[in-house]
Structure 1
Amino acid sequence: MKNLKGVRVMLVDDEPHITQFLEFGLLNEGFDTRTAPDGMTAVNLALEFQPHVVILDVMMPGMDGWEVCRLLKKNLSNVAIIMLTAKDEVEDRVKGLTTGADDYVVKPFSFEELLARIGARLRNQFPALYGEVSFGPFRLDDRRKEIRYRDEVLELSPTEYELLKYLVINHGIVLSKSTILDQVWGYDFGGDENIVEVYIRFLREKLNDKEHRLIRTLRGAGYRVDLP
């Protein structure tokens, strides 16, 4: 991943030997890296540094990783959070993911695995860093604001583009209307959430998805893209 210049990674852990080890490895991979020894420092640093990825310990004095995760997701427009912790019980994993974490790595860990997980989060949440990215029959080119479906360029409005990109990148995940509104229209959108239904209908027409096999509706839950 040395060709991904300008990717910002923030390390949050109260154990200096871990942050030093990770910082050395990530700098060697070409990442712009910052470290924070506690939760409050991490929140303040993140607002200034605007990281693409945060490697976040859970058990820290003062503000723990759960609260840091919640605040980062609330205050940053787009950030990938990978929880790094010795807590490996299922309930801890569930808590991390429901708090907003995008991935969960248990200590002890391999640096190569962590690097692979960072790459996976970047491809999913920051496709523009890679140019074109493929997801099944879709090819996304965020720099050109263009999506191809089965090798045909879709004629999309800016909002349709952002909505389809968000659905495709998060394929296999059920996304509620409120989540889609926050991520596509923005947290300060004051309109009716039924606008999501309208734009989903637009996309289905352009994808010839008459039977809703590609963009599925899960009544009472939201929408999910299923890739063939």
Structure 2
Amino acid sequence: MHKTTKILLAEDEPSLGQIIKESLETRNFEVLLCANGEIAHQTYKTEQPQLLVLDVMMPKKDGFTLAKEIRTEDTSIPIIFLTAKSQTEDVVEGFNLGGNDYLKKPFSMEELIVRINALLKRNKEPLTENIPIGNYTFNLKKQTLIINNTTQNLTHREANLLYHLSKNKNQVLERSFILKKLWGDDDFFNARSMDVFITKLRKKLKEDASIQIINVRGFGYKLIY
């Protein structure tokens, strides 16, 4: 990885933060270590990093609040949450706020590095401006769905999931592929989270009755229209 790639790391545990920082620097990343969410937000504004690694539980401003604020300014920067929380609702909340991935503590440095590289690679993929989906106009970059002059805003995760469904229109999108692509792992925990997002997309596409997201049991999902 090119040495100019900047990663903002927000972690309030000094020892863990230093370990992560040093490990990433051995891989030629430039790491901006911040001890709380407020410092992290200011550093984000001044340093313009390419990726964020945010601890969820931090003083002054937690990782979820920080991610929500940053997503109002930048819809595309990759965000990884570090969390001791393991409840499905907590993880879904993180994805709803614009997170791209999460790691449950304790985690291995190798796993974190693999996920960082995957997100950086994915973030370089070209974005198609407007994608017609039935009577809707979908914009991945802006994360919007428009129909009859009415605009719905999508979360980062919803937009990316819909993008891959649309790319595979009328074909089965395998669960394992999308889980590894967007969630980083195809375990049962992530699969439950994905089902929640599929339900949300169905609701947001309900104004066009010709559009369906079909569950192909045992294989995945198919977007048809």
Q: Is TM more than 0.5 here?
A: yes
The residue correspondences of 1:213-224 to structure 2 (distance < 5 A) are: 213=170, 221-222=204-205
Q: 1:21 to 1:162 in 2, by over 3 A?
A: same
Q: Work out whether 1:182 is the aligned partner of 2:142.
A: yes
In structure 2, what is the equivalent of residue 137 of structure 1?
Answer: none
2:40 maps to a residue whose letter is A
Counting aligned pairs with the same residue, the percent is 30
Gaps of 5+ in 2: 152-165, 174-200, 206-210, 214-220
- Whether the 8 Å contact between 1:9 and 1:53 is mirrored in structure 2 is yes
Q: Name the SS for the 1:182 alignment partner.
A: coil
TM-score w.r.t. structure 1 length? 0.60
User: C-alpha separation between the residues in 2 aligned to 1:177 and 1:84?
Assistant: 34
Gaps of 5+ in 1: 128-141, 143-160, 168-175, 185-191, 195-208
- Whether the 8 Å contact between 2:129 and 2:139 is mirrored in structure 1 is no
TM-score w.r.t. structure 2 length? 0.61
When the two chains are superposed, the root-mean-square deviation of aligned CA atoms in Å is 3.7
User: More relative contact order in 1 or in 2 (CA 8 Å, sep 6+)?
Assistant: 2
1:69 to 50, 55, 67: 67
- Whether the 8 Å contact between 2:75 and 2:142 is mirrored in structure 1 is no
2:31 maps to a residue whose letter is T
Larger gyration radius, structure 1 or structure 2: 1
User: C-alpha separation between the residues in 2 aligned to 1:21 and 1:181?
Assistant: 34
Q: 1:226 to 1:125 in 2, by over 3 A?
A: farther
- Whether the 8 Å contact between 2:9 and 2:52 is mirrored in structure 1 is yes
Q: CA deviation at 1:162?
A: 2.8
1:213 maps to a residue whose letter is N
Runs of 4+ in 1 over 3 A off after TM superposition: 176-181, 222-227
In structure 1, what is the equivalent of residue 44 of structure 2?
Answer: 46
What is the number of equivalent residue pairs in this alignment?
164
Q: CA deviation at 1:219?
A: 6.4
CA deviation map 1:161-185 (0-9, x unaligned): 6337x99xxxxxxxx857636248x
Q: Work out whether 1:163 is the aligned partner of 2:123.
A: no
Q: Name the SS for the 2:57 alignment partner.
A: coil
Q: Name the SS for the 2:128 alignment partner.
A: helix
